[in-house]
Chains A and B, each alone.
Chain A
């Protein structure tokens, strides 16, 4: 399994924005809904560009969406 040491708050941020759907977020970011789902579940680490686009879609800073757990890094 390609679980990463990068965690994210996408689920919480979607909830806080009136239950924004994965499809809505996917359309704003320009990826498929399945990719948003994979990112949310930690099955895929997006490129820097997509990560920034997700942050912009929520109107927050990148570090408010993604965080890196250096303690679990190899």
Chain B
């Protein structure tokens, strides 16, 4: 498994984990009602999740780079660049689709806080799809 494939796995797992942990700290109804947030603990949980995410991702990348330094220092070749481009395109479509659908969220009665939650989840989902697509392309192969 190449350095970039390991990296994609790390990012995918961490994005899913961070989103799940952050959601678990929210009142169970919040993602569904998109109501304003009266409790600052949710914001603190978001900060903690973000900082924790960055620290864990950096440490994990250092570990896999130390274990295989030649792989880590190698420049991305044409196949890896193609996988990156294709996966990023899929993620961008997902993000664009979800972002545009935020119009409907407003019509459903969400306020600015609800809209912010929705856009944040949209970003997390799009990035998870991006890295999941990378993993699939690395595992199953990539065509033109």
Contacts from A to B (Cβ < 8 Å): 1-4, 30-35, 38, 41-47, 50
Contacts and interface: CB of A to CB of B under 8 A. Distances in A.
Main secondary structure of the interface of A (DSSP, over half): loop
B38 interface: no
A45 B78 CA distance: 11
Interface stretch (B15-23, B41-49, B136-144): B136-144
A50 B140 contact: no
Given A2-B141, A2-B142, A47 B1 contact: no
30 contacts: A1-B141, A2-B142, A2-B143, A3-B141, A30-B77, A31-B77, A31-B78, A31-B79, A32-B71, A32-B74, A32-B77, A32-B79, A32-B80, A33-B2, A34-B2, A35-B77, A35-B80, A38-B79, A41-B141, A42-B141, A43-B140, A43-B141, A44-B79, A44-B141, A44-B142, A44-B143, A45-B143, A45-B144, A46-B78, A47-B78
Interface of B: 1-2, 5, 71, 74, 77-80, 138, 140-144
A47 B82 CA distance: 11
Nearest to A1: B140
